[in-house]
């Protein structure tokens, strides 16, 4: 798959000789960490490993506890590629591949609350707890008309802010909310969603050879079933693979 521009691609994606991949540990649909060994698994890990194999180099995982931290680290030269949700605000500094998975952003509420759809929450007086600069924070900031957004540093802190009674709901990725709250009978995850989040590979804007290569790489990984197999292997059978580009 490497083209005659291999030198330019390698220079864009692994300028230090190692592919440094930023991983957001907060998104359990895409990455899982063994609490005993610290070993990382999941579709993002598998994609980064395969990409490094294609480039003929080692991969190094740079971990963060929230997506906003990944984006904030861009100017610190801590990573070469990042697994992030596509967002117009982020696209001012990043070039995104086509999405490789689609995941829903929704709310968790108290089971006895009167809220049954995402639309019910966008009312005056309602407070939504979110992780600062997460994809769903950026989306809700642009789209909520009446509800108030209260931000926390991490998904765990956002959930705690909600559980403490400070908010009517907490926003998040459906799979993450199900993992953290789905078994609690006092809580309820809404059946609909306020956005479908497109997860993609990203590099710094201006890296033409690298970004072009990533586009074809992701499309191949979807078409060959690599992404579906990686999701299933990590137990994420309900996460949808993004459709291929026309």
Rounded alpha-carbon distances, angstroms, from residue 193 to 91, 104, 105, 110, 144 = 23, 6, 6, 17, 13
pTM: 0.89
pLDDT in tens, 26-47: 898 999 999 899 999 999 999 9
Position 164 pLDDT exceeds 70 = yes
Q: Which residues pair with 84 in a beta bridge?
A: 200
DSSP string across 105-116: EEEEEETTSS--
Residue whose structure tokens are 């005993």 = 36
Position 4 pLDDT exceeds 60 = no
DSSP 8-state symbol, 102 = E
d(CA 182, CA 176): 9
pLDDT of residue 179: 84
**End-to-end CA distance of the chain, in Å?**
20
């Amino acid at each position: 798959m490497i083209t005659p521009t291999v030198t330019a691609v390698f220079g864009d994606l692994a300028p230090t000789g190692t592919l440094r991949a930023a991983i957001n540990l907060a998104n359990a649909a895409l990455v899982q960490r063994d609490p005993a060994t610290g070993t990382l698994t999941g579709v993002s890990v598998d994609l980064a490993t395969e990409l490094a194999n294609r480039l003929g180099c080692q991969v190094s995982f740079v971990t963060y506890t929230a997506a906003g931290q990944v984006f904030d680290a861009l100017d610190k030269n801590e990573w070469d590629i990042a697994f992030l949700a596509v967002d117009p605000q982020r696209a001012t500094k990043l070039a995104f591949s086509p999405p490789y998975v689609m995941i829903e952003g929704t709310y968790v509420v108290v089971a006895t609350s009167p809220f049954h759809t995402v639309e019910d929450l966008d009312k005056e007086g309602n407070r939504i707890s979110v992780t600062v600069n997460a994809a769903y924070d950026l989306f809700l900031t642009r789209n909520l008309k009446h509800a108030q957004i209260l931000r926390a540093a991490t998904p765990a802190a956002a959930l705690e802010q909600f559980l403490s009674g400070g908010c009517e709901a907490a926003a998040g990725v459906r799979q993450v909310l199900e993992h953290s709250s789905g078994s609690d009978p006092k809580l309820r995850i809404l059946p609909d969603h306020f956005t479908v989040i497109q997860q993609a590979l990203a590099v710094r804007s201006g890296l033409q050879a690298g970004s072009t290569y990533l586009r074809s790489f992701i499309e191949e990984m979807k078409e060959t079933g690599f992404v579906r197999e990686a999701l299933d292997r990590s137990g994420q059978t309900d996460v949808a693979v993004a459709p291929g580009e026309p």
